Amino acid sequence: MIENYQPLGFGVYHLDSHYFKPGVASFYCIVHNDEVAVIETGTSHSLPFLQQFLKDLNLSPEQVKYIIPTHVHLDHAGGAGVMMQACPNAQLIIHPRGARHMIDPTKLIAATKEVYGEPLYNRIYGDIPAIDEARVVVAQHESSFYLNDRELFIVDTPGHAYHHFCVVDSFSKGIFTGDTFGLSYPNLIYQHKRVVLPTTTPIHFNPQALMNSIDLLMSFNPERIYLTHFNMLPDPKSVVDQYKRSVDDFVQLTESVKPVDDSLLPILMNEMGKMISSQFEFNQDLIINQLANDIKLNSQGLAFWYQNR
């Protein structure tokens, strides 16, 4: 038994991708009747965790049937290329708007290097090889894929990104939500419930589309949600209203700051930190140590939305 995976029941296993550091980004394996689906991939540095997991469960890479990133942001899909190389029978299941970036990741790589710089990019993301188009399957809204008799049902969920879908798994009464149901680190607790915050990273944030996607997910009456950031969230019905209020609060905050140019970004970041701290009684250490990067990315995405809406 290794420390990097956790059984969640129903044949679902949680793995930590160690994105930047442990406890930030998850990926999941579903094991059903000797077939495996990998949902989310982390980065290329996540491959050894998948390989060790398969080895520990006496599974072979040939038994991986699907690799399914919810969207092509690199904390979700950056490891797809190396995992496809390591799993020769796998098909990549991807959103129609994201397929071209997996087949030819050149633009995705260039854009990410522009943000992070090449040395940091290499350290965080590593190699992102192209994926053979013949192994890429475009998943339309309400399409189904099967691990033997277990249905993985795809629903289009824009709002965080236009190339985002979620995976409904009726067997576990759960949904793999990528970033559509926000982020909720296990130590973000208020009034005995986990706090769920929106993730509004550049450049596709659309608040109305996100609200519609949240409602779509809840129409399946899920008993659990498998977040990428981070781990399983039980009883999503108990926190969905808080999450939707936070989406509204982020929008209202942005409209009050009016970030018409990047000079106002530090103000938006500071006000967001103060708002989150006040609403959920989080201390400053938690804001700085746990949420600072999320606040920065969220502010960038909200500013882009405000300037381009």
List the pLDDT tens digit at each of the 309 positions of the chain.
456 899 999 999 999 999 989 999 999 999 999 999 999 999 999 999 999 999 999 999 999 999 999 999 999 999 999 999 999 999 999 999 999 999 999 998 988 888 778 888 888 999 899 999 999 999 999 999 999 999 999 999 999 999 999 999 999 999 999 999 999 999 999 999 999 999 999 899 999 999 999 999 999 999 999 999 999 999 999 999 999 999 999 999 999 999 999 899 999 999 999 999 999 999 988 998 899 999 999 999 999 999 998
If asked whether residues 231 and 263 sit together in one domain, one would say no
If asked whether residues 21 and 103 sit together in one domain, one would say yes
Residue with tokens 């708002």: 275
* Parent domain of 281: 242-308
Identify which of 187, 183, 185, 220 has the alpha carbon closest to the alpha carbon of residue 200. 183
* CA pair distance 70, 176, nearest whole angstrom: 8
User: Which residue type does 122 have?
Assistant: N
Instruction: Look up the pTM and report it.
Output: 0.96
Query: Quick check: 195 and 189 in contact, CB under 8 A?
Result: yes
Overall domain count for the chain: 2
If asked whether residues 68 and 206 sit together in one domain, one would say yes
Q: Is the dihedral of CA 125, 131, 137, 138 positive or negative?
A: positive
CA-to-CA separations, 129 to 49, 87, 104, 105, 231, in angstroms, rounded:
18, 14, 8, 7, 27
If asked whether residues 123 and 250 sit together in one domain, one would say no
153: domain CATH number is 3.60.15.10
